Amino acid sequence: MALTDPGRYITSGGQLSNCLARPPRSHFLSLIHRHTFSRCTTQPEFNRATGCFVIDEAAASTSTTPPLTRKRKLDTTTTSAPPTSATAGAEPVRKASKTKQKQVEQVEAALPATPQTLVSDKPMDSDDEVNSVISSDEFGGDADSSVGDVEDFGADDSDVDFDDLPEHDNFETQEKDLKPRKKAFEVDHKVYSPEDIQRQQDDQVAEVSTLLEQPHEDTAILLRYARWNKEKLIEQYMDGQEEVLDKAGLGQDVQKSPPRIETIDGFMCDICCEDGPGLQSLAMKCGHRFCVDCYRQYLDQKIRGEGEAARIKCPGDGCNRVVDAKSLDLLVRTDLTDRYHQLLMRTYVDDKENLKWCPSPNCVYAIECGVKKRDLTRIVPTVQCDCKHSFCFGCTLADHQPCPCALVKLWLKKCADDSETANWISANTKECPKCHSTIEKNGGCNHMTCRKCRNEFCWMCMGVWSEHGTSWYNCNRFEERSGIDARDTQARSRQSLERYLHYYNRYANHEQSARLDKDIFHKTEKKMTLLQSASNMSWIEVQFLEEASQALQRCRQILKWTYAFAYYLARNNETEIFEDNQKNLELAVEDLSEMFEKPTDQLSGLKVEMMDKTTFCNRRRIIVLDDTAKRLKDGVWEFNVDLNKPV
């Protein structure tokens, strides 16, 4: 067969072209009868590996009709035309498929094969096989849904799936699908202001309130109890209303009327033992009555002192009744209710798995993202807040693409702890054979005299020096097994240390360079003004410096983490591709960095070159991120640690 490995790509067009490229025409004919013809030619192919559409240009050029009409046209051809015309029509298709295959091969060279289950490499000779392959492919549902199941990182509330494959082959949507796609390393997210979050809560409360026929404040307590899982709450409520109310802290009503501040004759407060006439008091529906002062002090202590809000219980002993917002409003001043609502908002965001506060200091926004905890081994969900801070939704650390959270954690821990000190010791020192003091040989001959115990021994064989006789300074004694073993372990420690240092030095270097670049960034504006006056450039024209500076920082950030990532990467072919990408990005970044530091008078001459480099850097950055993210998603990377193991 002319085409190599026809089964590597499962995309529908490629699939069909495989069939077409093979000699037995009868298959092709049977195929025409069974299926619409349209899929094999101009239909832009969604390449799952690249996340974008590959358009078969050769085939597309043969067609000028829009896809929809073309489909119909081809349909009529296939149903009405005699076999001869169909076979004649197959020729260009076949050529087209070859060009397509070439494209695919090119893509394949840079990208991993997508995991696929349907196509085997052996030729398909029976109609049944063709049929089965086509049908499972054509209707897409099975194959795609199984993939979609695993790959569904989509936000619950968002309408865009993380991996939005054109599952139903809707030709009308072609225009839309041709738009530049979301890259594999990008993830859908939304930024919410505190007002948005409050509104979200209110909406949910209002919705559930009408359903459960409970007042708003009680519904809010119920929802907080159910951690804002509406469906679960409603289900539980329908199953056992009393039980849910009781557990949520709304049970055991002894009075029906809503709580209000009252003055009751003969009342004595159980907290302060006050019983004077005209003592104002309040009791929630549980009937436990306390004076307003005690209540206030109690609430103040809970809210301000303990930071409690969602589950402040009635002060009564063993009473489970939760203080509702309405009673609270009756009792305390606005500064405390503000704090109370702030705390409630915090618990709301904390309770929702798809919401997180932006970790940037003083930032008030929260981010919504649909990536679940269990997905974190296969995606690095980097989100950007409206305050411009970009961080990882999984671990809320600053952006650490392309390195998955688990590795980041491991790496930071490794850098912080002393685990490599031990390695250094075993790589560079030996123990005195007599007193076991640790000795580092820092020069000189092999005749060692331990400073502690005055033991004289040979550094090479660790044997007693006196036995060396005349072979001074040159140990030629027979290698004992133990000596070899000891040296092996030493070599291993040394290797492990060197490996770590290799990655750490580069990681640290980029971290430092990024910091320096940041300094430069602050000087950029000055530089830009300088350049503006030095040359005849306008403000707009010197913007390239800022862009270059931003590109530098972003790329360094990524490079930094690629080294942490690479440290944990097991060695295989994928690693080499990764390292190539990494190298390319690094070279581009260093070039740009060098240009960036040039004196101002030379900068205007470098403008075009710098702009090119900036674009190039950004492109290389996207390649590294996209490629890494895709393989992470497909589970292609092999790590020398277990990502699922908690640190």
Partner 1 sequence: MAGMSSKRLQKELSKIQGTLPPGITLVSAPDLREWTMDISIIDNPIYPPHETYRMRFSFSPSYPIEAPEVVFVACTSPERKIPLHPHIYSNGIICLDLLDSQGWSPVHNVESVCISIQSMLAGNSKAERPPGDAEFVRSNRQRPRDINFLYHDPKRAFAGGIVF
Q: Catalytic residue numbers?
A: 445
**Residue among 313 and 434 whose Cβ is closer to partner 1:** 313
How many other CB atoms are there within 10 angstroms of residue 422's CB atom? 11
Interface residue with partner 1 among 306, 417, 440, 519 (CB under 8 A) is: 306
What is the number of alpha carbons within 13 Å of residue 189 lying toward its C-beta? 29
Interface residue with partner 1 among 167, 293, 546, 574 (CB under 8 A) is: 293
- Per CB under 8 A, the segment of 290-298, 363-371, 382-390, 565-573 that binds partner 1 is 290-298
**Residue among 178 and 272 whose Cβ is closer to partner 1:** 272
Beta bridge partners of 104: none
**Residue among 318 and 361 whose Cβ is closer to partner 1:** 318
Phi-psi region of 25 (alpha: psi -120 to 50; beta: other; left: phi over 0): alpha
Name the minimum Å distance from CB 578 to partner 1. Answer: 43
How far apart are the C-alpha atoms of 22 and 101, rounded to whole Å? 13
Name the minimum Å distance from CB 313 to partner 1. Answer: 8
Is 301 a binding residue for partner 1 by CB under 8 A? The answer is yes
**Residue among 290 and 503 whose Cβ is closer to partner 1:** 290
Looking at residues 405 to 444 of the shown chain, list those that interact with partner 1 (rule: CB under 8 A): none
Name the minimum Å distance from CB 305 to partner 1. Answer: 8
| Bond prior to 180 in cis (omega within 30° of 0) | no
Name the minimum Å distance from CB 308 to partner 1. Answer: 9
Interface residue with partner 1 among 2, 109, 273, 608 (CB under 8 A) is: 273
How far apart are the C-alpha atoms of 529 and 384, rounded to whole Å? 30
- Per CB under 8 A, the segment of 65-73, 148-156, 223-231, 293-301 that binds partner 1 is 293-301
What is the number of alpha carbons within 13 Å of residue 541 lying toward its C-beta? 15
Per-residue contact track with partner 1, 307 to 326, x per CB under 8 A? --------xxxxx-------
**Residue among 251 and 316 whose Cβ is closer to partner 1:** 316
Question: Encoding tokens for residue 435?
Answer: 């007193």
Is 370 a binding residue for partner 1 by CB under 8 A? The answer is no
Of 101, 92, 70, 89, nearest to 32 (Cα)? 89
Interface residue with partner 1 among 252, 297, 384, 604 (CB under 8 A) is: 297
Residues 202, 304, 222, CA angle at the centre, nearest 5°? 35
Look up tokens 């002090």; give the residue. 297
54 burial type by CB count under 10 A (0-12 exposed, 13-18 middle, 19+ buried): buried
How far apart are the C-alpha atoms of 236 and 267, rounded to whole Å? 39
- Per CB under 8 A, the segment of 131-139, 295-303, 340-348, 503-511 that binds partner 1 is 295-303
Name the minimum Å distance from CB 294 to partner 1. Answer: 7
How far apart are the C-alpha atoms of 166 and 352, rounded to whole Å? 30
Interface residue with partner 1 among 105, 152, 177, 270 (CB under 8 A) is: 270
How far apart are the C-alpha atoms of 472 and 476, rounded to whole Å? 10
**Residue among 113 and 271 whose Cβ is closer to partner 1:** 271
Looking at this protein, which amino acid is placed at residue 550?
Answer: Q
Name the minimum Å distance from CB 289 to partner 1. Answer: 11
Is 246 a binding residue for partner 1 by CB under 8 A? The answer is no
Looking at this protein, which amino acid is placed at residue 258?
Answer: P
How far apart are the C-alpha atoms of 163 and 410, rounded to whole Å? 28
- Per CB under 8 A, the segment of 270-278, 323-331, 369-377, 378-386 that binds partner 1 is 270-278
Angle between helices 127-138 and 12-21 (to 10 degrees): 160
Interface residue with partner 1 among 16, 19, 90, 294 (CB under 8 A) is: 294
**Cβ proximity of 628 and 569 under 8 Å:** no
The separation between CA 372 and the C-alpha centre of its own chain, rounded to angstroms, equals 10
Question: Encoding tokens for residue 406?
Answer: 């688990």
How far apart are the C-alpha atoms of 525 and 520, rounded to whole Å? 9
**Residue among 268 and 325 whose Cβ is closer to partner 1:** 268
How would DSSP label each residue in 129-145? Answer: HHHHHHHHHHS-HHHHH
**Residue among 306 and 440 whose Cβ is closer to partner 1:** 306
- The number of residues that bind partner 1 (CB under 8 A) is 18
How far apart are the C-alpha atoms of 147 and 116, rounded to whole Å? 10
Is 298 a binding residue for partner 1 by CB under 8 A? The answer is yes
**Residue among 148 and 287 whose Cβ is closer to partner 1:** 287
Question: Encoding tokens for residue 192?
Answer: 């919410």
- Per CB under 8 A, the segment of 6-14, 174-182, 267-275, 442-450 that binds partner 1 is 267-275
Name the minimum Å distance from CB 285 to partner 1. Answer: 17
Name the minimum Å distance from CB 297 to partner 1. Answer: 5
Interacting residue ranges for partner 1, rule: CB under 8 A: 270-274, 288, 290, 293-294, 297-298, 301, 306, 315-319
